[in-house]
Structure 1
Amino acid sequence: MGSSQSKGDGQPMVFVNEENPVPVRVSTAFVKQLQQTQPDEGSRQDIENQVRQRVQAELARIQTEKSSAVDTTHVGYKSTTNANAVVTEQELDQLAKHAPTKHIKVLPDEITKAQDALILCYKNNPERSLDCWAEVQEFKDLVQKAQNAFIATV
Structure 2
Amino acid sequence: MGASQSKSDSEEVIFRSETPVQFSPNVVEQLSLRHASATPTPERQSTLDEHVRTRIQNEMMQLRKAEEEVQEEIRLALEKENLDREKAMAGQVKNGVGAGSVKSSAALSGDLEEIRSKITRFQTRKSLANYPELKASQEALVSCYKSHAMSSLDCWMEVVNFKNSVAQLEKEYFKTLQ
* TM-score category, normalised to shorter length: 0.3 to 0.5
* Structure with greater strand percent: 1
Q: Which has the higher contact order (CA 8 A, sep 6+)?
A: 1
Largest Rg, 1 or 2:
2
